[in-house]
Homo-oligomer: A and B are copies of this chain.
Amino acid sequence: MRDDFPILQREINGYPLVYFDNAATTQKPNSVIDAMNDYYSNSNANVHRAVHTLAGEATEGYESCRRELKSRFNASKAIITSGTTEAINLVAHAWGRANLSDGDAIILTEMEHHSDIVPWQMLAKEMNIELRYVPVQKDLTLDMDLFEDAIEGAKLVCVVHISNVLGVCNPVEKIIEIAKKKGARVLLDAAQSAPHQEIDFQQLGADFMAFSAHKMCGPTGIGSLLVSEDAFAEMQPFMGGGDMIETVSIHGSTYQKNEQKFEAGTPRIAEAIGWSEAIKWLNSIDIKSEHKRILHSARWLAVQLREMGMTVYGRHDDNDAAVVSFLHPTMNSEDLAHLLDARGFAVRTGHHCAQPLLDRLEITGTVRVSLYFYNTHEEVVSFVDYLKEILERFA
């Protein structure tokens, strides 16, 4: 599998790259890179409403992405956006503005990524909407009792499926069940789960699911919002422009009926073609056993780190992601990351765009190792070895 990813041949400061920053973005297989290359070298054209051969090929390539998305996630509506963040903002504008009103409540959790907080804070301020944050408990799980209290009168529940800091997978089936009973719509931030799990969107029963291509072996600049038919019917257009309209006159406009209604302007054509290949690549691997394998490495890593005196934030249950966030008692995280980089290890430090969660944990950041399917246990072992060396020399 590693041969599929050209970047894994890269050396950093004379050492082989060990890429452990997968929750930030994943690497791309050759099939993805080649498909975009081929598009730009042989088929580049603007899509829709054109007759010539290239435009036909480009349109087919673009729409193939939507087909792959619908089929992988069993969804009936897949809107293409520029990423998770735009997908969530789309819900806030296209659904929120049209369906919420003064005094309504939205439920968030303290585990959310900023992209699933800030759009709601902005909407809340503008429309006078109450935001209720479900707290994270000591054991790093959501306080489900408080969630059940909070659901009363809430119109929308926004929850991160898998935390990008902790790797914790939230009980979304249960959350959706409770929310549906109370008639609240549910938005899943699936930025971290879409890359790691097989998700049946319609069976799960959520209304919105947002995720990014770049975190699942696809290109930058593209993502998707899956939408249930019911919620789709409640959405008003967000951005206006070419392709999302049916007719325009100076007196007013009519809009497309399908996903295009929310895809204003020339779409992300090359990106869609690349993502399509990334989904095919994911379809081709045994994601369940790969997940088990890297989760096993993550658990092993967590044990080693604790033995070295680090504080590890994570629990690594079976459905959690292979993410290990940790802190050394005295050594500055970024110093550590610099030293790791000196030997080719790429990890992330900082608040991971989840400051409210870190506030709750009473820390300002962590060092985060996040594994993906092309990582090996040997890489994790060499990481531990080198970390020991660093601590001996510098701590």
Q: Identify the A interface with B (CB < 8 A).
A: 6-7, 10, 12-13, 17, 19, 21, 24-25, 27-28, 32-33, 36-37, 40-46, 49-55, 82-86, 88-89, 92, 110, 113-115, 117-122, 131, 133, 212, 214, 219-222, 237, 239-245, 247-250, 252-253, 264-271, 334, 337-338, 340-341, 345-350, 353, 355-356, 359
Contact = CB atoms under 8 A, between A and B. Distances in A.
20 contacts: A12-B52, A24-B45, A25-B46, A33-B40, A46-B214, A49-B348, A49-B350, A51-B337, A51-B341, A55-B346, A82-B265, A85-B242, A115-B241, A117-B248, A122-B237, A220-B269, A220-B270, A221-B268, A243-B353, A250-B359
Contacts of A214: 46, 266
A107 to B, nearest CB: 12
A271 B237 CA distance: 26
Contacts of A27: 44
- Oligomeric state, in number of copies? 2
A248 B89 contact: no
Contacts of A337: 50-52
A353 B92 CA distance: 27
Contacts of A12: 52-54
B356 A51 contact: no
A264 B49 contact: no
A24 B51 contact: no
A339 to B, nearest CB: 10
Report the 10 A-B pairs with minimum CB-CB distance, sorted nearest first.
A85-B265, A118-B240, A115-B241, A85-B241, A52-B346, A24-B46, A221-B268, A51-B337, A221-B221, A242-B353
Contacts of A89: 239-241, 264
A240 B115 contact: yes
A355 to B, nearest CB: 5
A131 B251 CA distance: 10
Contacts of A42: 6-7, 10
A242 to B, nearest CB: 4
Contacts of A122: 237, 240
A195 to B, nearest CB: 13
Contacts of A33: 37, 40-41
Contacts of A356: 248-250
Contacts of A85: 239-242, 264-266
Contact of A241 (B43, B55, B114, B244): B114
Given A6-B41, A41-B7, A21 B119 contact: no
A265 B115 contact: yes
A46 B349 CA distance: 12
A53 B341 contact: yes
Given A220-B271, A265-B84, A248 B50 contact: no
